[in-house]
């Protein structure tokens, strides 16, 4: 076999893989759009008191067995945003949308858009509008901690000098 045949075979296989990925991606995008349309059609506005929010593995989230049976096996070990909330007299565990999760306040009452066990949106009832929690970089957290400890040390030194 001549030396130019192997690169041509590799190129043909790569082109075939790209075409297959294109069509499967298009199919998956259609499924996601249909699911999103169904969620938007069945959402309801409910007053909710948010108790806690965190990222938890799906199988440790405390969801009902019926909901866990519908989750694909590979997704059960993945961490998802979960909100524990009081809806009326019941305390429920709700899955949260990734886009909405930063806006969910803890220990506050909000008007939430819920579709089954899925939290789709939140709006503030009392007080100012909701703003996402700021994520500080490692350097910013360390400098903030350093400033706090230096203030505490200065305060202790001032107390000791006043006693003398």
Query: Contact, 29 vs 49, CB < 8 A?
Result: no
Query: Contact, 96 vs 119, CB < 8 A?
Result: yes
Say what the pLDDT of residue 77 is: 85
Provide the pairing of β-strand 109-115 with 90-96.
unpaired
Share of the chain above pLDDT 70, in %: 98
Residue 50: how many CB atoms within 10 A of its CB?
A: 21
Which carries the bigger pLDDT value, residue 52 or residue 128? Answer: 52
Say what the pLDDT of residue 133 is: 67
Give the SS3 label for residue 28.
helix
Q: What is the mean pLDDT of the chain?
A: 88
| Per-residue pLDDT tens digits for 119-140 | 998 988 877 777 776 777 889 8
Say what the pLDDT of residue 164 is: 63
Say what the pLDDT of residue 150 is: 92
> Confidence band (pLDDT; 50, 70, 90) for 1?
low
Q: Per the domain annotation, does 21 fall within a domain?
A: yes
Q: Per the domain annotation, does 156 fall within a domain?
A: no
Q: Which residues pair with 49 in a beta bridge?
A: 86, 109
Give yes or no: residues 17 and 83 share one domain. no
Say what the pLDDT of residue 8 is: 93
Q: Per the domain annotation, does 111 fall within a domain?
A: yes
| Nearest C-alpha neighbor of 85 from the set 59, 57, 117 | 117
Query: Contact, 85 vs 106, CB < 8 A?
Result: no
pLDDT of 157 above 90: no
Say what the pLDDT of residue 116 is: 86
- Domain containing residue 62: CATH number: 2.40.50.660
Q: Per the domain annotation, does 141 fall within a domain?
A: no
Q: Which domain holds residue 98?
A: 42-124
CA 40 to CA 147: how far, in whole Å? 46
Q: Per the domain annotation, does 160 fall within a domain?
A: no
Say what the pLDDT of residue 67 is: 84
Mean pLDDT of all residues in 65-76: 86
Number of domains in the chain: 2
Share of the chain above pLDDT 90, in %: 46
Q: Residue written as tokens 């506005």?
A: 45
């Amino acid at each position: 076999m001549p030396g130019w045949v192997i690169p041509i075979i590799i190129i043909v296989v790569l082109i075939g893989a790209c075409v297959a990925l294109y069509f499967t991606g298009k199919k998956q995008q259609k499924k996601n759009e249909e699911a999103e349309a169904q969620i938007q059609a069945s959402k309801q506005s409910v007053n909710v008191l948010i108790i806690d929010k965190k990222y938890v593995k799906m199988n440790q989230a405390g969801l009902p067995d019926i909901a866990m049976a519908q989750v694909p096996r590979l997704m059960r070990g993945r961490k998802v945003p979960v909100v524990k909330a009081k809806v009326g007299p019941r305390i429920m565990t709700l899955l949260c949308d990734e886009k909405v999760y930063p806006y969910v306040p803890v220990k506050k009452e909000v008007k939430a858009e819920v579709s089954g066990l899925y939290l789709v949106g939140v709006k503030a009832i009392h007080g100012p509008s909701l703003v996402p929690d700021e994520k500080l970089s490692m350097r910013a957290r360390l400098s903030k901690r350093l400033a706090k400890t230096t203030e505490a040390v200065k305060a202790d030194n001032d107390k000791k000098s006043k006693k003398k």
